Structure formats: structure tokens, C-alpha cells
Structure 1
Amino acid sequence: MDATLAVSQASPRRKPGGGRLGMLLLVLLLALPMTAHAQFFCSWFPFLCPKACSAPLTEVTNFGSNPGNLKMCTYLPPNLGASRPLVVALHGCTQQAPDYDDETGWIKFASKYRFALLLPQQQQANNSKKCFNWFEAGDNERDKGEALSIRSMIGKIVADAAIDPGRVYVTGLSAGGGMTAVMLATYPELFAGGAIIAGIPYKCANNGSEALGQCGVSLTGQLAPMKDLTPAAWGDLVRNASNHNGQSPRISIWQGTNDTTVNPVDQRELVDQWTNVLGIDQTPDGQDTINGHEHKLYKDSSGNVLVETVLVNGMGHGTPIEPGNADNQCGKVASFIQDAGICSSFHITKFWGIDSP
């Protein structure tokens, strides 16, 4: 099964069932408060639940409102100091927080450049493939579900670690990329920048059927169709997500040319959406290559790059890395973490401007 969206099997807060035992469990679950559902599920079926935040990550509990029933994992470099940046990194389907820290290079750069890491973790009780539910209306709107849970985590770590609230960033792969778009749209005032890897435009879908039918998402390995909205229509979906009137976050958008799980056309629609939100046109103002991969820049009238895209030649579905010890190298090959000859985390930190200790 592909790691990304598995939306046909996604049932937020779905409970186990089947036969008399299933009915008994269902009755018992319905008698519990919502916050106890996952604990009950995992106590009966621990082999189906994500592992705890393993070292070097630390689990934080009691971080505030958690209607999405997510876990909070963090990494704080020993020499972090005050007023440092924060990067929120969202894993893809079938992954969990410990699969998306060192493998992607984020631990390396957090330690080197002294910024904090927050890695929210999905739970099996919420989604059978541990996908963030970017496609569910109860999770992809402001102050609801998983979006609010992640918002609560950000508030907790910003306060506890004395983070600079003007330098908070979010990135994610696949379903995590879809949830990155959700966070950027629903809480734009929180973020200075974002990076979407093999992700989906905000509000492309509000349920699993829509996600599979119109968002370029495939469970079969065959490219699925992606709806084609105008930039203004895509932009309106973001503008309607909050009452924000200020500057929206800068966006880096990554996609593999050989991805058969998320249609590469999604990158074009993401460009349409976020250039429109940021008030710039859809024609690139500069183009070059990074390690042989196409790199486009979209600028405002003052020459500031507000959107960039990287099209990773020959890569399938995953986060691109380049293992090695050089400053611009990172990562370890793992499930949906691919050696593509380019370390996305390094270039994203440069785009955000947090590549300095």
C-alpha cells in the first residue's frame, strides 16, 4: 500500500468492530469520552498503535485542546537558546514521527542551525494507515480536529521553549503535505513559511471519496485525475479558511516527476493556489536547476521570492534526500525517504532563511 493517502481506508476516529466482540467493544467505546477512545483502542490492540516518540524525540502530553487525538513529539537541541525558530514536520501515511526526523535530515539541521522541531504523530485509531486527515472537513478547518490539535502543540512549544513566534515554519510529505497546506491556510498568522512535498492543494477535498476522485491521489499506482480550478478559485478556498488580512507565508513546493501516488499535476495546482493567495502571477520570474532538478522562482514586484518549486527528476513518491556528510547533504534512505541526489531539508531551510546558528 502506498504511503501517502490511503483515503479509502481512512475513517477518522473509527472504532474496531466485528461480531459479538466487535459489538461489545463498540458499546464500551461509545460509553467513553472522545479523549479516551484511542487509549482504550491501544490498550486492546497495542500492535496497531504508533510507537511512542523514541529518542532523540521527546513526547509532550497535556499540550492543550486535542480534538484530533494526535501525539506531540519534539526535539530541542541542547544549545537551542531563546528566540530561535521552530520547524513543524508532518510525516506521511504509514510513517510516524520517529520515521521523519533523522531520516529526512531535520535532526541534523535543527542541531546545526539551532532551531526546535515539532513532529505531530497520527494515531492508528484515527486513520488505518496513519495518514493525517487533510481531506476531512472535521480536520481541515480552523479550530477543528487535527488542525486545532497541531495548533495547540505549536502554542505549547513556543511558550515552553521561548521560540520566536515570527519564525515558525511547517513542512510535510504527502498526507503530511496535505496537512501542511491545511495549517498554512487555516492559521496563516502562525507561519513565516511552509514547504509542501508531494502534497495537495487546500480544500481539494472534504471527504475520502472526493480525495480519491478529484485530487490526483491514487491507490493503484495509476495517475489519478486532478481537478483544474482557476488560481482565483483555489485562492478563495484559502482566503475563506480564516480572517487573516496580513501577509501569507512563503511556500516551497516539491514534487517527483515519477510519482504515481500523487499526480505531479498537483504541483501546478498548488502553484496556482499559493501564488494567487500571495498576490503574484503564475509565470515564473526565474528558473535554474539544483543538482540537475528543475527549480522555479515566483517573485513579487520588489523581487522577493514568495513561491519556489522543485521538480525532482526521476523520483517517485517520497521526501528527497542525499545521504552524506557535506553541509548540503542529509538523510537516511527509508520507506518513502528517497535518495534523489538532493537534500530537500537543506534547501528548504535556505529558502526560509533559517540556515544560520
Structure 2
Amino acid sequence: MSTLLAPTPAAGRPAREAGVTLERVSNFGSNPGNLAMYVYRPARLPAQPAVVVALHGCTQSAQVYADNSGLTTLADRHGFLVVFAETTTANNLNRCFNWFQPVDNQRGRGEAASIRQMVAHADSAYGGDPSRTYVTGLSAGGAMTSVMLATYPEVFRAGAVIAGLPYHCTRDTGPFTCMNPGVDRTPADWAERVRDAFPSYTGPWPRVAVWHGDQDSTVVPKNADELRDQWTAVHGLDQTPDRTSTIGPDRTRREEYMAGDGSVAVQVNKVPGIGHGTPVDPGTEPEQCGRTGTAHFIRSICSSYWITDFFGLGGPSARAGS
């Protein structure tokens, strides 16, 4: 079954229009999920760089996500390596990561295992810092980000889920029900699903940022609330935000849930007035990034800037030393 269908196709741009040069990596492991690995390496890459894994949405490609999301702009600025994983129509007719398939969303299996192998290769081949590994993605890639955080919590220090879903929502229902109208479960139930993904693991757990358009009808905003419930419960926190604010030119609404050490364990960002896609803000100012003109890259706020900040790789948080 294919899922996370985009309302309009996001066709890949012709190669001559590609704005970002990616390096294809052919031999990164046994690759049980039959994925492709691409790497973006900034011209000035420090020793032991942080590694950010980026997962595209349905009908997209690694090249499309690299060209439009703005992540490579931040990689150039702050000196981290970006690994773009890519799935194909051989795996899913709509080029969706199979976040809903048991053969792909469990530890040591399928696509999840392939992405884990990409991280290991980035560490060995490019000198990536295993203690600073992060993951983000859109839509099906956002749902697969949830998979990676749950199944490999010891690998990823933090993740950012854009228009995605809680881990293992499909354990007892179908993917389209999870997407819309969404499923309401208790925080304890959601947290149990994460802990069941790696039963012997006791923490520390990845920090999680959630990004969601408040007009998304493909993956409804309810999923942002359920993701909040899942990861606050995993961290042993309640669901009342410790801090609220607005950010960016569109006054995105932010809720933050604080760990005992004062760090932000879970963050929820609801972007006003946009539907299903990655928020971008084309331009050259420090808080701008990304391109529009391709489906599901929506002009509003440069989410990659704020995600990089959440990861501690650049922006206000990094400057403050948090």
C-alpha cells in the first residue's frame, strides 16, 4: 500500500536545474531497505562534523529536498554533513518511505536499518561525530523520522518531524486513518509504543521538535498534538507547556516542554495559514532559507533555520551555548 499521498505531484526538477551538488554513495552496507544514500559535504567541513539525516516526502527525491528545504544553506554556514536518504518507486509507487510497514519500521529491519547503516557509513567515511547525529523529514519522511527516533534512540541526539505522525500509529489502525482524521491515544499508550521499539533501552531519549501547518488537511494538525503526547510521556513530562512564544515573520506558535536540566526536551511549532509541506522563507537574511516553486515547499518561515537551532548546530541556542 502507498500512503501519505501528496495532493499534487512534486515532480523532480531536471538535473540541469539542480542547485545543490550531492555525492551518491553506493556501498554503505547491506541496505536491506533498498534505499539510496546521498551526501552533501560543505566546502569547509570541520573534523568530526555533526551529521543530519534528511528524509524527503512522497513523490520527492533527495535532490528535490536538498534543492528546496534550505538545509544545505545551514550546512554551509555551520559546517555539518547532511545525509539525504532516498526511496524509489520500487519500494513504494509514490516514493514514500514505508513508515507504516512492519518490515521497514522496526529496529534492524528494512528501511530503518538502511538509514542506520547510512549513519554508520557517514561516521566511518567522513569522520562524523556519533554523539551529534540528528534526523529530520517531511510527511512520510517525517513519519520515518519518528521511526528512527523510536527504533534507534541511542543513535540520534534529536529529531525534527515536519508534517509527520507518531511512531507506530498503525499498530492497530490503517495509515490513512492516522493521517486524517488522526487518532487520539493517551500519552502513556503512545510512549509505550516507543519503548517497545527497543525494550532494553532506558535512555537518554532524543529531543524532539514538531513542525506542522495549522491548515494541513493531508496529515491533520492533530498529529502534532499526538506527537507531543508521545514524546513528552517518553521523557516523563506532562503535556502542559513550560514556555510559549511566537517566532518568525509569520508568528509561528511555539510550545516548549523542559527537561529537568533546563533543556528543551520537546518543542511544538504550529505554522499559521499553511497546509502540507516544509515551511521555507526564500532570501539571504540570517533567518531565511529554502526555495519555493516546487510542490510542498511553502513560503512562511525557514523551518531549517529553527531546526538547526534546536539541534544546537547554529542560531540563537548555539550562540547561547545551550
1:303: Cα distance to partner? 2.4
2:33 to 65, 68, 85: 68
1:293: Cα distance to partner? 1.3
Q: Which runs of 5+ in 1 are unaligned?
A: 8-47, 218-223
Structure 2: distance between partners of 1:5 and 1:121: 16
Alignment CA distance shift 1:65-1:139 (3 Å): same
Question: Which residue type is aligned with residue 136 of structure 1?
Answer: Q
The answer for the alignment partner of 1:298 in structure 2 is: 257
* TM superposition score normalised by structure 1: 0.82
The answer for the alignment partner of 2:195 in structure 1 is: 239
1:179 to 135, 144, 168: 144
Structure 2: distance between partners of 1:97 and 1:191: 20
Q: What's the CA shift string for 1:17-47, capped at 9, x where partnerless?
A: xxxxxxxxxxxxxxxxxxxxxxxxxxxxxxx
Q: Does structure 2 retain, via aligned residues, the 8 Å contact 1:317–1:336?
A: yes
Alignment CA distance shift 1:351-1:4 (3 Å): farther
Structure 2: distance between partners of 1:82 and 1:293: 35
1:62: Cα distance to partner? 1.1
The answer for the alignment partner of 1:78 in structure 2 is: 43
Alignment CA distance shift 1:110-1:4 (3 Å): farther
The answer for the alignment partner of 1:338 in structure 2 is: 298
Structure 2: distance between partners of 1:300 and 1:126: 38
Structure 1 stretches of at least 4 aligned residues deviating more than 6 Å after TM superposition: 48-52
1:108 to 67, 73, 79: 73
Taking only aligned residues, the RMSD between alpha carbons, in angstroms, comes to 2.1
The answer for the alignment partner of 1:313 in structure 2 is: 272
Question: Match of 2:279, SS?
Answer: strand
* TM superposition score normalised by structure 2: 0.90
Q: Does structure 1 retain, via aligned residues, the 8 Å contact 2:213–2:270?
A: yes
1:278: Cα distance to partner? 1.1
Structure 2: distance between partners of 1:286 and 1:302: 15
Q: Does structure 2 retain, via aligned residues, the 8 Å contact 1:226–1:266?
A: yes
Structure 1: distance between partners of 2:154 and 2:227: 20
Alignment CA distance shift 1:324-1:235 (3 Å): same
Question: Match of 1:138, SS?
Answer: coil
Percent of pairs with identical residues = 46
1:51: Cα distance to partner? 8.9
Alignment CA distance shift 1:187-1:51 (3 Å): farther
The answer for the alignment partner of 1:259 in structure 2 is: 216
Q: Which runs of 5+ in 2 are unaligned?
A: none
Alignment: residue pair count: 304
Structure 2: distance between partners of 1:168 and 1:143: 18
Q: Does structure 2 retain, via aligned residues, the 8 Å contact 1:297–1:307?
A: yes
Structure 2: distance between partners of 1:206 and 1:134: 11
* Bigger CA radius of gyration: 1
The answer for the alignment partner of 2:175 in structure 1 is: 211
Question: Match of 2:304, SS?
Answer: helix
Q: Does structure 2 retain, via aligned residues, the 8 Å contact 1:80–1:115?
A: yes
Structure 2: distance between partners of 1:51 and 1:118: 21
Q: Does structure 1 retain, via aligned residues, the 8 Å contact 2:75–2:81?
A: yes
